[in-house]
Amino acid sequence: MGICDGRVAIVTGAGRGIGREHALLLARQGASVVVNDLGSAVDGSGSDVGPAQQVVDEIVAAGGKAVANTDDVSDWKGAERLINTAVETFGKLDVLVNNAGILRDRMLVNMTEDEWDAVIKVHLKGTFAPSHFAANHFRARSKAGEEVDGRIINTSSPSGIYGNVGQTNYGAAKAGIAAFTIIAAKELARYGVTVNAIAPAALTRMTADLGMGQAEGEAREKLDPKHIAPIVCWLASPLSAGVTGRVFDVSGRMLSVAEGWHRGPTIEDPDDDPEVLGQAVLDLVKQARPNANMFGYDES
């Protein structure tokens, strides 16, 4: 018995890293899990059924229920097949965890069109497409008179909500996912569905070259991706029914609620003269709270 007992969950990008930990913990807490992973390299190239199947084998060996899926979540038909896999295998879907992602970091002046398009597609469309089909599944059940307790849990990033040099493509996608989460939460509440996101920081093959790979000892243990899974597991459970439209910053052993854009210092009836207006804008900027650094704190 666990807090997700009897629930059916999909985790995308679940063959390795953070997604793998999500799948394993959800299964330990009683969920039947569709382990989705294309099995690609960090940059999105190639495919391999091995990672997804290995996680399934681990879950089954521990007495859980799981099935592998290797569809590309950024492909429209692939996303539909993914949702259908859960319904056809386990009879329904309760939880969708959108975790799949790739990296193609580059400074803006050097970034290619393909590097931009690939990252935006996998992260942003790869969140939208499965969510679209999951939302339709939840809506159909709701309209049929069923009491739905659905969950969509997305994956943003500190790079998206705070900003990180060299990741305009990745950060833009992750910022888009944060906005997507807030809006989808408003739209799907009527069907009994909550939508939340996490912005995780952990040591995985995607972050090993970003400085985290140098961590040692206790610092390295704090960055273990297993520490990200508990908040996702709780959000996936019936216990989180009152929480929606939130982005949670999960970095190492720290958990916080990320507070989004708010209207700051304001001018009522601003002057139409650009030069006069400019002086007022400078004063507004002085009054405004600084942007956060990559750790979520004010830059100074």
Catalytic annotation on 157? yes
Q: Which of 32, 157, 237, 240 is catalytic?
A: 157
Residue (of 154, 220, 208) closest to 16 by Cα position: 208
> Which amino acid is it at 167?
Q
State the Cα–Cα distance between residues 15 and 285, nearest whole angstrom.
45
Q: Which of 40, 156, 174, 191 is catalytic?
A: 174
Catalytic annotation on 237? no
Q: Which of 40, 156, 170, 240 is catalytic?
A: 170
Catalytic annotation on 191? no
Residue (of 75, 69, 60) closest to 89 by Cα position: 69
Active-site positions read 157, 170, 174
